[in-house]
Structure 1
Amino acid sequence: MKEYLVTAAQMKQYDKNTIDIHRIPSLLLMERAALVTVEAIQNVLGKEPKRVVVVAGGGNNGGDGLAVGRLLLLAGYQVDFILLSAPERCTEETKRQLAILQSYKARIFGRMEEITYDMDIVIDAVFGVGLSRPLEGLYARAVSWINTQDAYVCSIDIPSGIQADTGEIAGCAVEADLTVTYGFYKLGQMLYPGAGYCGRLVCGQMGIDENSFLGQKPLWYTYHGIQKGLLPKRAPDGNKGTFGKALVIAGSKQTCGAAMLAAKSTFSAGAGMVKVVTAAENRDAVLQYVPEAMLLTYDTENIEEKWDNSHGSDFRTLFQESLSWADCILIGPGIGLETMARCLLKSCIEDSHLPLVIDADGLHLLAVDKELQASMTEKNRQRKMILTPHLGEFARLYGCETAECKRHLTEYPRLLAQKLGCTVICKDARTVVASADSETCYLNTTGNAGMAAAGSGDVLAGLVTGLLAQGITSEEAAISGVYLHGLAGDMTAEELTQEAMTAGDIISQIPSAIRTCLREEQGPGWRRLC
Structure 2
Amino acid sequence: MIASKTALYQASQIRSCELMATDELGLSEDELMARAGASAFSTLEILYPDVRSIAVFCGSGNNAGDGYVLARLAHEKGFSVVINQYKTVEHLPPAARHAALQTLAAGVLCQCLDDPIEPEIELIVDALLGIGLKGEVYGPLATAINQINEAELPVLALDVPSGLDADTGQVMGACVRATQTVTFIGYKLGLMTLDGADYCGDLICHNLELDKCVAAIEPAAYLIDNYLNQLLLPKRPKNSHKGLFGHVLIVGGGYGMPGSVLMAANAALRVGAGMVTIATRPEYASQSLPLLPEAMIYGIEEAAEMLPLINRATVCIIGPGLGEDEWAKMLFTTAMASQLPMVIDASALRLLADNQQHDDNWILTPHPGEAASLLNCTSAEIQQDRYQAIRRLQDVYGGNIVLKGAGSLVATDKSEIYLCNAGNPGMASAGMGDALSGVIAGLVAQGLLLADAAKLGVWLHAKAGDAAAAERGERGIVASDLMLYLQGLVNQRMYA
Letter in 1 for 2:347: D
TM-score norm. by structure 2 comes to: 0.92
Q: From 168, 171, 175, give the equivalent of 1:169.
A: 171
Deviations 1:81-115 (A, max 9, x none): 23321212212222222232234222233454276
- Aligned residue for 1:105, secondary structure, equals coil
| Bigger mean CA offset, 75-84 vs 354-363 | 75-84
Q: Which residue of 2 aligns with 1:13?
A: 16
Q: Which residue of 1 aligns with 2:441?
A: 465
Q: Which residue of 1 aligns with 2:334?
A: 347
Kept after mapping to 2: 8 A contact 1:231/1:480: no
* Residue 116 of structure 1, CA deviation: 4.7
Q: Which residue of 2 aligns with 1:387?
A: 364
Taking the TM superposition and a 5 Å limit, the aligned residue runs for 1:501-516 are 501-516=477-492
1:344–1:171 Cα change, 3 Å = closer
Q: From 398, 416, 420, give the equivalent of 2:397.
A: 420
Distance in 2, Cα, partners of 1:265 & 1:426: 19
Q: Which residue of 2 aligns with 1:96?
A: 98
- Aligned residue for 1:81, secondary structure, equals strand
Distance in 1, Cα, partners of 2:127 & 2:473: 35
* Residue 227 of structure 1, CA deviation: 4.1
Letter in 2 for 1:429: A
Q: Which residue of 2 aligns with 1:199?
A: 201
Query: Is residue 9 of structure 2 the alignment partner of residue 3 of structure 1?
Result: no
Distance in 2, Cα, partners of 1:243 & 1:169: 45
Taking the TM superposition and a 5 Å limit, the aligned residue runs for 1:29-428 are 29-46=32-49, 48-113=50-115, 116-209=118-211, 211-213=212-214, 215-224=216-225, 227-236=228-237, 237-298=239-300, 303=301, 306-307=302-303, 316=304, 318-350=305-337, 352-368=338-354, 370=355, 373=356, 376-377=357-358, 381=359, 383-428=360-405
Letter in 2 for 1:507: M
Kept after mapping to 2: 8 A contact 1:247/1:276: yes
Letter in 1 for 2:319: G
Distance in 1, Cα, partners of 2:114 & 2:379: 41
Gaps in structure 2 of 5+ consecutive residues: none
Distance in 1, Cα, partners of 2:231 & 2:287: 32
Letter in 1 for 2:79: Y
Q: Which residue of 2 aligns with 1:313?
A: none
1:254–1:84 Cα change, 3 Å = closer
- Aligned residue for 1:123, secondary structure, equals strand
Deviations 1:177-210 (A, max 9, x none): 221111221122123323312222222232233x
Distance in 2, Cα, partners of 1:259 & 1:76: 63
1:488–1:177 Cα change, 3 Å = same
What percent identity do the matched residue pairs reach? 32
Kept after mapping to 2: 8 A contact 1:234/1:243: no
Kept after mapping to 1: 8 A contact 2:228/2:456: no
| Bigger mean CA offset, 289-298 vs 241-250 | 289-298
1:14–1:330 Cα change, 3 Å = same
1:114–1:455 Cα change, 3 Å = closer
- Aligned residue for 2:298, secondary structure, equals strand
- Aligned residue for 2:165, secondary structure, equals coil
Gaps in structure 1 of 5+ consecutive residues: 308-315, 520-530
Letter in 2 for 1:91: P
* Residue 231 of structure 1, CA deviation: 4.1
1:286–1:18 Cα change, 3 Å = farther
Letter in 1 for 2:307: Q
Deviations 1:319-374 (A, max 9, x none): 31221221111111112323332222111112x21111111122222223x3xx3x
Distance in 1, Cα, partners of 2:465 & 2:456: 14
* Residue 463 of structure 1, CA deviation: 0.5
1:269–1:23 Cα change, 3 Å = farther
Letter in 2 for 1:432: L
Kept after mapping to 2: 8 A contact 1:34/1:68: yes
Query: Is residue 25 of structure 2 the alignment partner of residue 22 of structure 1?
Result: yes
Distance in 1, Cα, partners of 2:51 & 2:422: 36
Q: How many residues align?
A: 491
Kept after mapping to 1: 8 A contact 2:364/2:401: yes
Q: Which residue of 2 aligns with 1:430?
A: 407
Distance in 1, Cα, partners of 2:463 & 2:487: 11
* Residue 213 of structure 1, CA deviation: 4.0
Distance in 1, Cα, partners of 2:114 & 2:276: 65
| Bigger mean CA offset, 211-220 vs 80-89 | 211-220
Distance in 2, Cα, partners of 1:337 & 1:95: 62
TM-score norm. by structure 1 comes to: 0.87
Distance in 2, Cα, partners of 1:144 & 1:102: 26
1:502–1:74 Cα change, 3 Å = same
Deviations 1:424-464 (A, max 9, x none): 212222322223x4232122211111111111111001011
Q: Which residue of 2 aligns with 1:492?
A: 468
